[in-house]
Amino acid sequence: MALQAKDIVEIQMDALEHQGLGLAVNDLIKDLCKVMDIQGIFRKYLSNVKGFSIAVGTLSNPAFSEFLTNREFDFSNIDGKKEHYLIKSTGEEGRQLIIAGSDTRGAIYGIYDFSRSALGVNPLYLWTGHRAAAIESLDFSSISMTDGPHTFSYRGWFINDEDLLLGWTGKFDTNFQNNAFTKHAGYADALEPVMETALRLKQNLLIPCSLLDILDPSDEDLVRRVADRGLLITQHHIEPLGVFPKRVLRYWQERGDTEPLSYTKNPEKYEEVWRLYAGRWARYDNVVWQLGLRGMGDKPVWADDPYAPETDSGRGQLIAGAIAKQLEVITEAVGHNNFASTATLWMEGMELLKGGHLSFPQETMIIHADFGPTQMLGDSFYEVKREPGRQYGLYYHVAFWSDGPHQVQGTLPHKIHYNLQAAVQHGNTGYLVVNVTNVREMLLGTQYTAALGWNFELNQPEQFMQHWAAEHYGQEGCAGAVRAYQAYFAAFHSLDNTGYDGRMLLMDGMCRRLIIKLTAILQGQPFTKDEIQNKTLLAFDQATDFVAYYRKATEEALPKWDVALNVAYQALQGIEKERREFFTTNLLVQLSLIRGLYRAVHQLSNAAESVLAGFKKEEGHVRGPILEAAAELQQAAIIRLHAERGKWKGWYDGDVLLNLPDLIRQINECAGNN
């Protein structure tokens, strides 16, 4: 017998299970209603049911284990494992479906795998708008699924530089540096779909925002929500123990201490604040603690500490000493030493480790990182020696501000696979956290890294891309969509091909820098090399060389963007209407934006060449290209409105990083249009 549409099904879960499992059950009830118009009745106890029912639980719960044993349900193949699940029918005529997890997240993953595999619910449905096709009947007796993580242990996302998510869910300080200190209460509304999607994609770890301050009630609410969902939480690599160094400075300034902050000279000032924050974080048992010692921003500690050592060995000892003290502080706060900790080697940390100047406690997992502007692992990753018995992980970017992808995706699936394969081969499988910025623009890379993190061997890039396109655009639109994404990724100009074709691509954040630099040249300012992580972008001695390079680079790339737009337009015609909205927002809008940025850079380069040759920017043949550049970005801003329909209204209200309106303003001012 099969469950029929519009039937009633009872879903049972013991009341002592984690509330995150109950939230997943509520999602299952909604999925059943949407797909089969079924009324799900949620019972928080386990009992015998004559009709169709679904029993959900964890083997770590004695009541559920006894429930299964009494039904002679064999769960031995997941017993004692982490995050595994088993889905199978039992009872008279297979009317009862069991979703058993070895632990809470295992059961949660089982629920969402059932929704995806049996009901056809897309794990990205909250972002794509696609509804699963209606099902008239479902035979429980034919369902048998079991799985667990195969590759990475910790798997999660870093919601970083989240300007669009903040603006979409409420008003906030448009000076993003100020806003980083305080999230508005509405940000929790953005976090809910992020967490549900993360669990549907079998993630277990989240950094819910940039620079979270757990002493702020609205920020602590985010921590509580992550815990309630059954996810682990960790901290930004520049905020060890959840403390951004600027908050240490502010803490003492509020107490009348205006001395320069220095861990070298006054470690007790840091340690007092560490204890304050660790005590609050210790309320939660789902924390993976971040250790380290960084500067006031995303830079080395010695950039801001006037008393810091000048030698590599001295700097390594300073950081190692701080980490040892942090472990003491955490142990004191939680009351034991059985906690997880990581140290992310971003920028200077990797070089110190490679040189033998930095050491870590054996129980702390070392996290290597890619280089954000390239999304490639550097030489140090391959050269540094691994210690036997130590766990290693990876921090990876599919988004990176300001010299990488932000409002347009740019990390190719092949590049993702290449770098994660290196991580697997070198044993960095303890941890995989991916920077996904505002999530929505990076859904392809976000889903692919999640799939690789769960089971690397089953997710080759070509096959994944075919499956992804079919799942989101249907079988009829699949082939055209794949060609469109291929043409899109092939159109980016490559700034560096060293060791890998397309190592560094010219992304949207880089285009913003170029536009600002070109308008400065047009205003008569001298060309300077800014102090940025991406040294390649401005690696020129003369303004003439800088301008000539980007004029030619964009001249060569623009025909490729035109081809990509044509291929995408043709693909759109083959996609059923109900699925076109996602193709429009995920590809066409982004393609139009990056094409507009390239065209603006090209027009400004033409104008700058004329100015450097001695012409005035007010002359018609110079001012014309400047106005064309503004028009290109204005057109991109208009096209971008297609991504602000329905629930996405106001999506770009928080655009303070790429800041398209500001770029248009600067270009118009350059042209004399005040």
pTM of the model: 0.96
User: Does residue 514 sit in helix, strand or coil?
Assistant: helix
Confidence of residue 171 (pLDDT cuts 50, 70, 90): confident
| 37 assigned to some structural domain | yes
- 548 with 454, same domain: the answer is no
- 426 with 524, same domain: the answer is no
User: What average pLDDT does the segment 433-449 reach?
Assistant: 98
CA–CA separation, 554 and 595 (whole Å): 10
CA–CA separation, 61 and 583 (whole Å): 44
Cα 407-435-419 angle, rounded to 5 deg: 105
pLDDT single digits (tens) 130-141? 999 999 999 998
Can you give the pLDDT at residue 93? 79
Q: Using the 3D structure, point to which of 122, 147, 172 is the last residue of a domain.
A: 147
Q: H or E element: which one contains 397?
A: strand 392-397
User: What average pLDDT does the segment 164-184 reach?
Assistant: 74
- 329 with 202, same domain: the answer is yes
Q: What is the DSSP letter of 132?
A: P
CA–CA separation, 595 and 321 (whole Å): 49
Confidence of residue 181 (pLDDT cuts 50, 70, 90): low
pLDDT score of 312 more than 90: yes
| 478 assigned to some structural domain | no
User: What average pLDDT does the segment 649-662 reach?
Assistant: 95
Can you give the pLDDT at residue 216? 92
pLDDT score of 178 more than 80: no
Q: What is the DSSP letter of 501?
A: T
Asked if 43 contacts 51 with a C-beta cutoff of 8 angstroms, the reply is no
Confidence of residue 531 (pLDDT cuts 50, 70, 90): confident
CA–CA separation, 92 and 86 (whole Å): 19
Question: How many CB atoms sit inside 10 A of residue 645's CB?
Answer: 13
Confidence of residue 454 (pLDDT cuts 50, 70, 90): very high
> 130: domain CATH number?
3.30.379.10
> 264: domain CATH number?
3.20.20.520
| 465 assigned to some structural domain | no
- 571 with 616, same domain: the answer is yes
- 133 with 266, same domain: the answer is no
Question: CB within 8 A of 545, min separation 6: which ones?
Answer: none
- 316 with 334, same domain: the answer is yes
pLDDT single digits (tens) 586-618? 999 999 999 999 999 999 999 999 999 999 999
Asked if 97 contacts 111 with a C-beta cutoff of 8 angstroms, the reply is no
Token pair in block for residue 585: 């927002």
- 171 with 140, same domain: the answer is no
| 476 assigned to some structural domain | no
CA–CA separation, 320 and 390 (whole Å): 17
Can you give the pLDDT at residue 441? 98
pLDDT single digits (tens) 217-241? 999 999 999 999 999 999 999 999 9
pLDDT single digits (tens) 80-131? 999 999 999 987 778 899 999 999 999 999 999 999 999 999 999 999 999 9
pLDDT: which is higher, 211 or 427: 427
Give just the sign of the alpha carbon dihedral 293, 295, 298, 300: negative
pLDDT score of 210 more than 60: yes
Q: Using the 3D structure, point to which of 147, 172, 195 is the last residue of a domain.
A: 147
- 105 with 205, same domain: the answer is no
| 472 assigned to some structural domain | no
CA–CA separation, 382 and 585 (whole Å): 38
Asked if 358 contacts 324 with a C-beta cutoff of 8 angstroms, the reply is no
pLDDT score of 180 more than 60: no
Can you give the pLDDT at residue 285? 95
- 578 with 619, same domain: the answer is yes
Question: How many CB atoms sit inside 10 A of residue 646's CB?
Answer: 7
CB contact burial 111-122 (16+ within 10 A = b; e otherwise): bbbbbbebbbbb
| 474 assigned to some structural domain | no
| 52 assigned to some structural domain | yes
When divided into structural domains, the chain yields a total of: 3
Token pair in block for residue 133: 């096709």
Can you give the pLDDT at residue 188? 93
- 185 with 279, same domain: the answer is yes
Can you give the pLDDT at residue 37? 97
CA–CA separation, 439 and 194 (whole Å): 8
- 45 with 75, same domain: the answer is yes
Can you give the pLDDT at residue 27? 98
Alpha helical stretches, state H, 613-659: 620-639
- 417 with 500, same domain: the answer is no
- What is the CB-side half-sphere exposure of residue 654 using CA atoms within 13 A? 27
- Look-up: residue for tokens 């205003």? 523
Point out the least confidently predicted range of 10-19, 293-302, 500-509, 578-587: 293-302
pLDDT single digits (tens) 536-576? 999 999 999 999 999 999 999 999 999 999 999 999 999 99
Give the CA distances from residue 35 to residues 30, 53, 135, in Å, rounded to whole numbers and listed in that order.
9, 17, 6
What's the domain range around 666? 484-670
Can you give the pLDDT at residue 184? 75
Token pair in block for residue 394: 């990876």
CB contact burial 15-34 (16+ within 10 A = b; e otherwise): eebbebbbbbbebbbebbeb
Tell me the average pLDDT of the chain: 95
Point out the least confidently predicted range of 143-152, 339-348, 411-420: 339-348
| 506 assigned to some structural domain | yes
pLDDT single digits (tens) 242-284? 999 999 999 999 999 999 999 999 999 999 999 999 999 999 9
User: What average pLDDT does the segment 479-500 reach?
Assistant: 98
Q: Using the 3D structure, point to which of 109, 126, 147 is the last residue of a domain.
A: 147
Asked if 240 contacts 326 with a C-beta cutoff of 8 angstroms, the reply is yes
